[in-house]
Structure 1
């Protein structure tokens, strides 16, 4: 790795890849050299608007070429990027913007018909207004240890926290990620993962600029639109949450998907059956599963090209270089290494709770390491429930349900029970005819009786947050 900061890497893409396509966003097609020029101009616009080294700027907008230019332009001006979740309500987003101390907010007016109010006194710029093109080219001197971004956690289980990471962490980690994912120069990368999340921003934009892949941003997931873009743009790289591949597998009609080469997915509960179907029914020649969290720069482990199908289907791989993983006595996954965050913004108490005195990040996930060093995630500590004195991990029960041919998606939560304290309730999206009684019997034939759900509710869709994770609080 020859760069010390993200802007240094981004701007070097002009020399490394020239006029090759960097971004395709509808009719807009930008080469790497033009993208670098636009980032410098945006940096000048931010500087003219009063952004100085270390100042924070929030981007509250969907995936687009302008988002990319704004984010890297802000960093080129010395600013700290604060991506804001587009699913947030005005009050939630306003709190993040306020807590981040943002000196400017970039929005895309009219997105999904939403208004984007911000706290009084903070200037707001429309991404589509010409602001980004208005500056005189500018670059601010920085070092790799400077904070590059503050990414707020999703906040589905409590108040969101701002995770601070520096330039050097992201560049080192996602240089290795490119190797592990087999991202190549000239790949065409459909970025479905939202840019406000580390998967879209770092494994998407940063990785593409490291390697010279064409970024094709998708602002709102729509399976028909995704299929159309894969066919038209000859997409080769399609990472996403497990729900993305469920949607592709269930999509009616046929499109030419033969260009697809690499799938990358990660979650605490990737179903084995999903990976089998992705390998058997879609044209991917490489499927990488992995595990990560915002507090560890987004990636902790991945599977590798030499891993067997069984390992890819049942584990999340081995730690990245320079990252240690161990399992605590209570089964919690602990992570240590250069990827661990610099801390939570303005929250030393929460930082101390998350990262202990020996530098171990307490992830809140439960897992095991096998003799080959492969990590398996069994669920979240907070999701585990106890049935009559026995521990039940929802991910295991969900995996069992997903093996049923009529089940497309499944989520299991605990509900109170007068006799046993808690029992499992399954929420299922069907792809065929099946009854509650049949699914309960199916589960009891395959897993211990105490693990099997006592009831099943059928839904048209599971409630998902913007990164594709099931919001189990809503199901509870």
Structure 2
């Protein structure tokens, strides 16, 4: 899709296959669907409505995008068609947070989206007003360590990302995907764009608070599923451990936003034989920069190989490339990499250099077969008496204990060492095992053994499943 936009790809689908389903709104796959022809009419109508409201090409449009809201998808695409800049947000957030976001972006609110879409709107522009190099959306990062950053993505960025994702997953016109992830982050937005440019159909779920609805959609013939690991665990529980029985037509699953242990990945392969199982690594600034195929010979401890069209280099502290197998900071470059951060030139200059390389702040290394392994984040390092400790080392060791399902490590103040590791765990039972620390001690250096272990019912995570260490602190 080089030099084009996702809007032009969707228009082609509507012209070539106007009756094909694009959005599946009813409980049964294919019933009460919105065809590509109808979708294009709705997109153009919403775009025309915005233009009548006097929006300019660079206006930011605040879009409430609740999970499962098909109308929000139409409004998002209509905003892009009109040449506006989409600012997706979670309508469940507080009024104060929304006010702050609106002030930060100078965004304009739109009327009730559902009401607008049911109006008899005249069609807007026949062709999208958006240009490939224009700003398409401001997506605010999950804010796991501080204030969310406004990531600026152009139409060229999201088109390159969508084409790459659809190519790797193998999306096509026969796909019927159940989307359970939020629509305000790069995972959910990426699934929408990738399926639609390929001519497939989407059935959006309002999260997995009611997993039975997602299971019913899978049973009715879904070929694809997008989910985070925590959500997948809910589905497996609801399916009484036999998810394959509820997904007779499922051919692919994309997981992302949160890590899984190698043991959990192997168990998933056993649970869904014959299904192509993908996990991805990336950031809001560079979505899906690597892909890992679980049901293959890919090393499950890695986060996969570099995606098509993406460049990756691991740099040492002095900025020089690290040798194969040596650790450093992961840097990415490609047409999917964001153009910068909203109203923050200093951060943009600090994270994206003049050659287009993005400093991810993720630590890792690459093996001889070009697989990327992550060891933590530079910002999360714990300084134990001068020894630099990645919390991922501790978490990985803890999760090999039979009674630990999740683990998170942070640094806490110590008057002698400066910092020492503290561990939080989610257990399979109600009692803390006596051997957790000794189990970890057999796998890590002495300075990495936690000084304290606390059991929690659940680890704090963002809506997209990312661990929030700041809340543990």
TM-score using structure 2 length? 0.89
Q: Distance in 2 between matches of 1:230 and 1:289?
A: 22
Cα-to-partner distance string for 1:151-198 (whole Å, 9 max, x where unaligned)? 122223222222111112211222121121222322221112211111
What is the CA-CA distance between 1:233 and the residue it aligns to? Answer: 3.3
Aligned to 2:25: 25
Indicate whether 1:352 and 2:349 are aligned. yes
Indicate whether 1:8 and 2:13 are aligned. no
Assess if the C-alpha contact under 8 Å between 2:23 and 2:33 holds in 1: yes
Secondary structure of the structure 2 residue equivalent to 1:144: coil
- Which of 205, 218, 237 is equivalent to 2:224? 237
Aligned to 2:79: 74
Aligned to 1:112: none
Assess if the C-alpha contact under 8 Å between 1:45 and 1:131 holds in 2: no
Aligned to 2:360: 363
Report 1:213-362 matches (<5 A).
213-222=200-209, 224-225=211-212, 227-251=214-238, 253=240, 256-259=245-248, 260-267=250-257, 269-283=259-273, 285-296=275-286, 298-303=287-292, 308-309=297-298, 311=299, 313-330=300-317, 331-362=328-359
**Closer, same or farther: CA 342–8 of 1 in aligned 2, 3 Å:** same
- Which of 146, 157, 164 is equivalent to 2:134? 146
Assess if the C-alpha contact under 8 Å between 2:424 and 2:456 holds in 1: yes
Aligned to 1:394: 391
Indicate whether 1:180 and 2:168 are aligned. yes
Cα-to-partner distance string for 1:118-173 (whole Å, 9 max, x where unaligned)? xxxxxx41122235644311124332111111112222322222211111221122
Q: Distance in 2 between matches of 1:395 and 1:263?
A: 25
Q: Which moved more, 1:73-82 or 1:319-328?
A: 319-328
**Closer, same or farther: CA 86–353 of 1 in aligned 2, 3 Å:** farther
What is the CA-CA distance between 1:62 and the residue it aligns to? Answer: 0.1
**Closer, same or farther: CA 292–381 of 1 in aligned 2, 3 Å:** same
Q: Distance in 2 between matches of 1:418 and 1:436?
A: 28
Report 1:89-238 matches (<5 A).
89-103=94-108, 105=109, 124-131=110-117, 133-139=119-125, 140-202=128-190, 204-222=191-209, 224-225=211-212, 227-238=214-225
Secondary structure of the structure 1 residue equivalent to 2:458: coil
Cα-to-partner distance string for 1:340-396 (whole Å, 9 max, x where unaligned)? 211212221111111123332111111111111111111111112133433322223
What is the CA-CA distance between 1:47 and the residue it aligns to? Answer: 1.4
Q: Distance in 2 between matches of 1:389 and 1:291?
A: 30
Aligned to 2:61: 57
When the two chains are superposed, the root-mean-square deviation of aligned CA atoms in Å is 2.4
Q: Which moved more, 1:441-450 or 1:171-180?
A: 441-450
What is the CA-CA distance between 1:12 and the residue it aligns to? Answer: 2.0
Q: Distance in 2 between matches of 1:363 and 1:439?
A: 32
Cα-to-partner distance string for 1:282-315 (whole Å, 9 max, x where unaligned)? 346212222111122x221223599514x2x121
Q: Distance in 1 between matches of 2:393 and 2:102?
A: 38
Q: Which moved more, 1:320-329 or 1:362-371?
A: 320-329
**Closer, same or farther: CA 418–412 of 1 in aligned 2, 3 Å:** same
Cα-to-partner distance string for 1:323-353 (whole Å, 9 max, x where unaligned)? 2211121311111222221121222111111
Q: Distance in 1 between matches of 2:35 and 2:397?
A: 47
Indicate whether 1:470 and 2:467 are aligned. yes
Q: Which moved more, 1:371-380 or 1:219-228?
A: 219-228
Q: Which moved more, 1:64-73 or 1:29-38?
A: 29-38
Aligned to 2:370: 373
Secondary structure of the structure 2 residue equivalent to 1:410: strand
**Closer, same or farther: CA 169–135 of 1 in aligned 2, 3 Å:** same
What is the CA-CA distance between 1:3 and the residue it aligns to? Answer: 6.8
TM-score using structure 1 length? 0.88
Secondary structure of the structure 2 residue equivalent to 1:81: strand
Q: Distance in 2 between matches of 1:396 and 1:238?
A: 31
Assess if the C-alpha contact under 8 Å between 2:2 and 2:159 holds in 1: no
Unaligned segments of structure 2, at least 5 residues:
318-327
Assess if the C-alpha contact under 8 Å between 1:150 and 1:163 holds in 2: yes
Assess if the C-alpha contact under 8 Å between 2:407 and 2:423 holds in 1: yes
Q: Distance in 1 between matches of 2:212 and 2:450?
A: 36
Cα-to-partner distance string for 1:189-230 (whole Å, 9 max, x where unaligned)? 11122111111112x110011112221112233252354334
Assess if the C-alpha contact under 8 Å between 2:178 and 2:203 holds in 1: yes
Q: Which moved more, 1:184-193 or 1:34-43?
A: 184-193
What is the CA-CA distance between 1:88 and the residue it aligns to? Answer: 3.1
Q: Distance in 2 between matches of 1:125 and 1:429?
A: 43
Question: 4+ runs of 1 displaced by more than 6 Å?
Answer: none
Aligned to 2:320: none
**Closer, same or farther: CA 419–276 of 1 in aligned 2, 3 Å:** farther
What is the CA-CA distance between 1:72 and the residue it aligns to? Answer: 0.5
Report 1:410-449 matches (<5 A).
410-432=407-429, 435-449=432-446
Count of aligned pairs = 453
Q: Distance in 2 between matches of 1:245 and 1:400?
A: 23
What is the CA-CA distance between 1:439 and the residue it aligns to? Answer: 1.6
